[in-house]
Structure 1
């Protein structure tokens, strides 16, 4: 019996050949090797509310979720998600047919795209985008069509060109993939922008998948508006949420999908052959987390705003051009005022130069040149860590 060797046929599926080890793994390893402060990967360095952690412990001890939970998610969590959507946004979802619990938002994205796309379909996505978008579109056999958010230095934000978005839609377009609040730029799409997106989706009969994992992190008077709330959108929109970003338990991997019954059923068909189920005891804890009073969400946002301003101010003092985000916990900065033009080279040298790790934004672009001068810093860290990082950056770059 003979086996196939790597010399006779490539081992990696050709759809995935452009996707190697993620930049997050590379930069996190570099942070460890150099003893640098890791502001690259977006995970908090402090756990979320103690009462929610204890809720997970209680579920473990009570034997809830230690075996396979129900495929759609435990009823308590699905009901809590439905209540959250109704209370925050006026969106009414049936927890039995219109809510699906997933292994984090990353699985929700994968399941939605695998379920809803056919080979040859086109997906219009806002560039730069979270790296799993491109990989999941490729695995579905579809093609991504990026619409680039352009920097607007006068307003210190990135903006969407609606004409470019309309021009990107063709007869092969099946789906719009929207992320707001937007990672990595921090852009929060306005009601006018989202209304235009909704009108385009209805006019061209497009499905819409919306990644809203940073929904509770909006600043400076910005408002998070779920596209599903707009006319004609509920029946065509798959909305994705996550507990990790809101409650600072990213390792629990609890995400969810809400949408019309036919859309959720389609996503569930794909999801059941990915993880099947996950995070059993943590689902019960997240159900309790979603019932926290509004004061928790306000305090969480205020804490992140303080951290945003601390890091943004330090970056500005070090000489970067800073785009203060209206949402998320990431800051995009332009390295060109420092005499640099290549974000990759800058980030690979930064640990030795300043003892800090960041991520080059170009990894989130198909049009690499558009993202070349930008780097991303995460501010979901303790105040003392951010203060140390900003001092290191000032010493390395400020003149």
Structure 2
């Protein structure tokens, strides 16, 4: 695909971006001159667009998978796929990851994509079963390679690299250069592009001191101090702690989303969707949410449990102060807790006024049992809900259409009425079922 200045301008317009940043420009220049490029870039720096734009000019007008992007988590795979779709390229893209029906993925290969995005485990599975031919792959990207190593995907990545004989260009993306490059990458000679921090995120680190044994009460007090439209992600080190926080908040009628290991893929998507679209102001999560997922800018990052590693602390904080430019990171501590040594200073104490308010989220998320595979799109769903005289455009929020179902954010004041009105209704002559998303 020839990427002219006109093409690039159209792509940026589709993404709502006015111009490339310096790191993206440097990546484009480096990949024109070097076959192996290491891109050192943190979350939120625009790395995905950098390597996608670098890859596109090298793709040919022929059938078969030509570009493979490996990412360590299903959430990052979906995020990369989302960026590719927003770019509106005349190319087919497939996404493969655990938790997605293998039969659907295999069927999607009946017409091979030009770009394939997937987790190492699922791509290895496809290669072993021969569901696609790798012999035309010339472009290879390892996104968040440091995270892939950390999660133990070395064996899968070594197998995949061993199956790709025609690769000409490789891009390795990492948040740190403090990694040993495995031999199977054949990456000894490479050029490094490092994302310069043009403007340091304005993150204020504070500590919220609670009486011993009353962390949950302290968290509740912080949540009740939120105004409409504000949001917070609460990080815990273990899934059991996430569940304990969730049970406490549920007892106090706080609407929240939960994102941790052990959830099925549909559950993960539903929980993230509710947080993205404003159906929940609070997201409780383990560190799988510290990078590689698509969530909105945050007002607060709360460390309910402080991570032992400084890198994890930094990644958590990186979820705030992105587009909004400012954010607050809160260490939730009891009077007997110690600050982590890596912090190096004593943060200012966060003082909260007594507040009994419990602001309800603006939206509720409805689940519709029809999606892309049923030829249903966003326009269909907008038209369906606006046919009811009590609904206005302002009552509809974010709409996400998946393969076999869809999510629609509806004004919390009207969602019950919308569910009732949708009974026995059809979209494109297909009977549908509308329920509150779990």
Asked if TM exceeds 0.5, the reply is no
The structure with the largest helix share of the pair is 1
**Structure of larger gyration radius:** 2
Identify the structure with bigger relative contact order (alpha carbons < 8 Å, sequence gap 6+).
1
The structure with the largest strand share of the pair is 2
**When the two structures are superposed, what TM-score results if normalisation uses the length of structure 2?**
0.35
